[in-house]
Amino acid sequence: MNLFPKRRSRAVASTPLDGVDVILADLDGVVYTGRNAIEHAVDALGRAVRDGVAVGYITNNASRTDVQVAEHLTSFGLTVAPRDVVTSPQAAVLLLAGLVPAGSTILVVGGEGLTSEVEKAGFSVTRQASDNPAAVIQGFAPTVAWTDLAQASFALHTGIPWVATNTDWTIPVEGGIAPGNGTLVSAVHTAVGILPVVGGKPEKAIFDAAVERFDAKTPLFIGDRLDTDIVGANRAGMRSVHVLTGIDGPKQLLAADKDSRPTFILDDLRGLFEPYPETEFSKDGNTATVGSAVVRLRGDAIEVVRPGESSVDRLRAASSLIWASGRPIYGLQVAPELYS
């Protein structure tokens, strides 16, 4: 068997940006971590704009307003208006508007990023179940306390609608990885026995809102989490980039199920402008070549035959090989150099 398939002569590979009219970028883990911009991210997004590709930003973080997010991004040297930011509170409020009468009183669990959107939509805000709210809307804020969750529980026991901005289990902050809104939603769910309607990733509502706002025809979504970013992009029918600067790394990519597999895997956002190498399979489908990296499935083992010059090419080859095999990751012995 020839482990090193002869290269076919072909045109130069396309880049992830070819044919894209709008980039939709996640924030935490893609553009910045805490107060710090991620290396190469700002330069790459600025270059995309100069090249005529619109850039919008999608965030599940419900604790800040679109104005605050735009100011944060502008501080890194990007040119961002509030309109360029699509937040999970905005998507959640759109869902809320279809569930209750206009002008209703809404019990809000969350901070200014959520209350501001609820009020902009013409609803009244309360924090007390005794005010007989028409619905509960819940989002993350560092100040959310047990008393807030209790009020939501009291109100939801009356049978009113419940909308959540997002259900991320974790949130990256300067000190590390902290519990996210999903943990708080789960606490209320445990008390009331029902689940909310969700506006943010991985649900389609936030992607649909972004497509409509930017009139996107061929968007490309960039994220760092498979369970929210990539699953959501796939549900929305968008091509996606998974960038290895945030939460999920090689281990998670190798184990990704069919719903959470990205179109492209990049080390960092400079790769948006670089030719993206095609994966070539051997005739028996047991060997994958990307660039100069060659990875083989032999029995239950995923082996590196030739490491090549790029660790991300090895990861691309191994991911493609595992995904194409249809075999679960727990039934395979993966060479440590592919994920460590």
Considering only CA atoms, which of 242, 270, 221 is closest in space to residue 43?
Answer: 270
- Which residue out of 18, 21, 26, 148 is catalytically annotated? 26
- Which residue out of 21, 28, 227, 313 is catalytically annotated? 28
**Which H or E run contains 91?**
helix 88-97
- Give the Å distances, CA to CA, from 108 to 33, 52, 136, 202: 27, 40, 6, 22
Q: How many CB atoms lie within 10 A of CB 36?
A: 9
Considering only CA atoms, which of 277, 176, 168 is closest in space to residue 226?
Answer: 168
Q: How many CA atoms lie within 13 A of 183 on its CB side?
A: 12
CB-based burial label for 175 (10 Å; 0-12, 13-18, 19+): exposed
Catalytic residue at 148? no
Collapse the DSSP code of 333 into the 3-class scheme (helix H, G, I; strand E, B; otherwise coil) and give the result: strand
Instruction: Specify whether the CB–CB gap between 104 and 134 falls below 8 A.
Output: yes
Catalytic residue at 26? yes
Q: Which residues are catalytic?
A: 26, 28
